[in-house]
Structure 1
Amino acid sequence: MSSKEKEIREFSEKMLKGTALALKKLVEARAANNETMIVSDNNGKFKKVPARELLDIVRKQS
């Protein structure tokens, strides 16, 4: 693996970790305020979900 490829891989990993952390913080804040979030399902349809339900999923993934 070249140094450029390694640099790109490391950057991608950092971006994914940062995005996951931002999502976790957003869901935690919404759950603390008993709010809902809009998400899409596997078919691309949007639905409203209580943030507390998403919080369990997000915490398991991190």
Structure 2
Amino acid sequence: MKNSGNDIFARAEKINEGIQKAIRKMIEREAALNGNLVIGDEHGFKTVPAKDVLRELNEEAAKKA
């Protein structure tokens, strides 16, 4: 059974959407518990309040809408 490029792309998009939903749910749960998240980038790792991350996500979503 061969998969076309479009099928693979559609599956990858669905996987990505599922991952994004899971990450948001984790952030929302940690924010509700006044928890922190460990964020890493090219400069290293740092601990950030989940409420701050959630606020930024909501601001970005509002800009896109």
| TM-score above 0.5 | yes
What is the root-mean-square deviation in Å for CA atoms of aligned residues? 1.8
How many residues of Structure 1 are paired with residues of Structure 2 in the alignment?
59
Higher RCO (Cα < 8 Å, 6 or more apart):
1
CA-to-aligned-CA distance 1:1-56 (integer Å, 9 cap, x gap): xx610100000110111111000000000000000010113x24000000001102
1:1-62 mapped onto 2 (5 Å cutoff): 4-41=4-41, 43-59=42-58, 60-61=60-61
What SS does the aligned partner of 2:38 have?
Answer: strand
Q: Sequence identity, in percent?
A: 29
What SS does the aligned partner of 2:48 have?
Answer: strand
**TM-score normalised by length of structure 2:** 0.79
* Gaps in structure 2 of 5+ consecutive residues: none
**TM-score normalised by length of structure 1:** 0.83
* Gaps in structure 1 of 5+ consecutive residues: none
